[in-house]
Structure 1
Amino acid sequence: MTSSVGVDRVLEPVGVLPQAAWRLDASPAIREDEVRVRVERLNLDAASFRQLSEKHGGDGDAVRAEVLEIVGARGKMHNPVTGSGGMLIGVVEEVGPSSPLGVKAGDRVATLVSLTLTPLRITDALRNWDGRSEQAPAEGTAILFGRSIVGVLPDDLAPELALAVYDVCGAPALTDRIVAEYEHPRVVVLGGAGKSGSLALAAARMAGARTVGIVRNTDEADLLRAAGVADEVAIADARNPVEVAAAVGEPATITVVCVDVPGCEHGAILATAPGGTVIFFSMATSFPAAALGAEGLAADVTMLIGNGYVPGHAEFAVDLLRRVPAVRSLFEARLAGD
C-alpha cells in the first residue's frame, strides 16, 4: 500500500503523502509497482510559470535556474510559492512486475498527475529551454506509483499539443459532469480563451448549456468569438468582482474559473446565481478567500475544487479537440506563440 501511493519515496517530512512532502527520493531504481519514465518535456502549470516569470522580470535564464533549483532541492517540480507544478511527457523505460498502470517499455506517455507529487530528476540542466514558455524540453527520469495516472499519447496529435491538452483535461470533463446536473444552465468561464477555459466552454456547449466567455482584452475576445464555443463574449478584469458581475449580466448557473492569477474568487461568486456552482480550476485560487468571500456575500453556491481527475478525462478532452477544430487552432496558436 505505501509503495502504491508513493509514501516510500517521501524523505521529508516522514509520514505524509508525496504531494504534501517537502522532499522526495527521485532515484531511478524502481520498486515493484512503480514505472520509470525517461523525460522528454515538462509542462509547467500556468500559475507556476507566471509567478516565476513575473518574479524574474521575464528573464528566462533566471526562470530556468530556479526550476532547476526547485527540482534539485525537492526531488519534484513543486513551486513553493504557488504550490503547483505541472506534468510531463516521456517514454516508459521500465515497468515494475506489480504495476497496475497498463503501460510497457517504449510507450510514449503523458503523466496525468501533478509534478508536485512525481519524483523527478533533471540530467541536462534544461539546456534546450529558454525559460520563456510553459513547455520545457528536458532530459531526466520520473517515477510513477501504482496509483498514478498515465496516458499513452495519441498518434494523431503532436506531442506538444497532446501535452497541452492533457495538462488541463480535468476542466472540460468536470464541466460536462456538472452541466448535466442542471436543466438548461448558463455557464460562464473566466479565462475563456485559455487552454482550460476554451475546452470547458466547448464541453459546456456540447452538453447543451448557454455559454459565456469572459476574457481580459479585445484580442482574446476576437480569438474566442472565432472559436465559436461561446454564445456571448465579454471583457472584464477577473480580479474585479463588480466588473465581472456587470460583464456576466444575468447570473450564471455554473461559473468556471480558469484564470492563472490570484484574486478571482469573489468575482466568480458574485456572478453566480443562488443554488449555482462555482468550479475553481486555477491553482492561483485562495480557498480561504473563496470560502470567506461566499460567506460574506451570503452566497448560496456550491464551490468545487477542480482536482484534475475525472474518469476518462484525457480521452474526453482529446475528443473535444478533434471535434472542435477552432479550439484546436487556439491551442496550436498558443503553442506557436510560446
Structure 2
Amino acid sequence: MSRDHYGLSRVVGEKGVLPQRARTLDPSLPCREAELLIDVESLNIDAASFKQIKDEVGADPTRIAARVREIVLERGKMQNPVTGSGGMLIGRVNQVGAGHPAHGVLQPGDRIATLVSLSLTPLRIDEVKAVHPSIDRVDIRGQAILFATGLYAKLPEDMPDTLALAALDVCGAPALVTRWVRPGMTVAVLGAGKSGALCLAQARRDLKGQGRLLALDISGQALATLKGLELCDATLQVDATRAVEVMEAVSEATQGALCDLVINCASVGNTEMASILSVKDGGTVIFFSMATSFTAAALGAEGVGKDVTMLVGNGYVPGHAQLTLELLRAEPALRRLFETRYV
C-alpha cells in the first residue's frame, strides 16, 4: 500500500511487525499522512492490566502513575509487559492527516474515544494529572497517534465523557453477545464489572423473557447490586479460580443441565476451566477477559473431554459503539450503575 495504514513505520527495530506485537513504538511528531493526532485527556487502562500494576506497586496512586509513565516511556505505548494488554483513551482531535479516513469527517477540537487498544497506539505522556484506581483511569496531558485502520467514536453529547468512556472501553462485549444469545438459553456471565454488567443487560434483552441468566462473581456486594437491578435471574458467589467449585454451583443452580453459553469477563487469570466446566457439551464459551490463556483453555478443554466451542472476543464488532451507547440509553438502571461506579 502507498500509505502506511497499519502504522508499520512506527515500529522500532522490528521490520514487518505490526504495532500491537511490537515491543516499542515511535510516538514522535510530526503526524504523518495516514495518521490522526490526538491530545489525550484520559487513559482507561483495561481491568486485567490495572490490577496487575496495583498488585506490583501497591494501591498508592503516585506509584501507579510512575509505573504507567515508565511503561509508556520505555515502549512508546501503554502495553502492560505482563498482561500484554492496554486499554483505550479519550481526547480531542489535534490534526487529521490527508490520507486518514477521518479527513473531512473529524475536525480539530472534536472529542473522541479510541476503540483500539493502547497496546498498538503510539503515546507520549507529558504529565500524569490524576489516578483513579476505583475505575482504572489515569488522567494525563500527552499526545497519541491513531492509524488509518484505528477505530474511534465521537463522544455523545447526551452523557458525560467519563460515562461514555467506561462503556466504550468494553463495547465489543455486548455486541458479540447479541450474536450468540437466543431465547430459551441458559446463560452465565462470569465477572460483575463493566463488561459483565453490559453483557448481562444485553443477554437479558436477547433472551426476551425465555431462558435463564446467571451472574457469577466473588463479590457478594457486586452480585447483590446486579440482582437489585434485575440484570439476572440468579447470582452465584464463587471464586472463579476454583473451577470444580464453580461447576458444582452452576450444576446445582441449573439442576444439573449446566449452561448453553458462558461469557467470561473476569479480570483475573486461571478462570478458563471454571467457564469450560460450567457449559454443557456442545455449548459455547466466550472469553472477553484479557487474562485468558489460550493454552489453558485449549488444553484444559481437551483434558476433561469437553466438546465446547470457545470464542475470543476481539473487541470489535461492526456497530459495537452505537449498540453499547444505545444500551445505556435504553436501560436507566444500567446507566445509573455506571454513573455510580465508574464516573
TM-score (normalizing by structure 2): 0.94
Counterpart amino acid of residue 238 in structure 2: A
Listed as ranges, the matches of 1:1-338 within 5 Å are 1=1, 3-101=4-102, 102-124=105-127, 126-129=128-131, 133-180=135-182, 184-191=184-191, 193-208=192-207, 209-249=211-251, 250=254, 251-335=258-342
1:130: how far off? 6.1
Q: Find the residue that maps to 1:127 and give its secondary structure.
A: strand
- Counterpart of 1:3 in structure 2: which amino acid? D
- Verify the 8 A CA contact 1:215 1:235 in the aligned structure 2: yes
Given that 1:32 and 1:97 are in contact with CA atoms closer than 8 Å, whether structure 2 keeps it comes out as yes
Whether the 8 Å contact between 2:37 and 2:95 is mirrored in structure 1 is: yes
Q: What is the TM-score when the length of structure 1 is the normalising length?
A: 0.95
324-333 or 253-262: bigger deviation: 324-333
| Cα distance change, pair 301–54 in 1 and its aligned pair in 2 (3 A) | same
Q: For the residues of structure 1 that align with 2:306 and 2:313, how far apart are their CA atoms?
A: 20
RMSD (Å), alpha carbons:
1.4
Tell me, which stretches of 5 or more residues in structure 1 are unaligned? none
CA–CA separation in structure 2 for the residues paired with 1:202 and 1:184: 16
Aligned residues: 332
Flag as ranges the 4+ runs of structure 1 deviating above 4 A: 130-133
Partner deviation per Cα, 1:120-175 (whole Å, 9 max, x = no partner): 01111x03336665111111111011111010000011111111000010100001
Task: Determine what percentage of the aligned residue pairs are the same residue.
Answer: 49
Deviation digits for residues 176-221 of structure 1, max 9, x if unmatched? 11115xx521110001x21000100111111115311112132112
| Contact 1:170-1:306 at 8 Å conserved across structures | yes
- Looking at structure 2, the residues matched to 217 and 98 of structure 1 have their Cα atoms a distance apart, in angstroms, of 48
More off after superposition, 258-267 vs 321-330 = 321-330
Superposed CA offset, 1:224-247 (max 9, x none): 111211111111111111121122
**SS in structure 2 opposite 1:136?**
strand
Query: Cα distance, 1:62 vs. partner?
Result: 1.6
- One-letter identity of the residue aligned with 1:229: L
Residue pair 2:122, 2:144 contacting (<8 A) in 1 also: yes
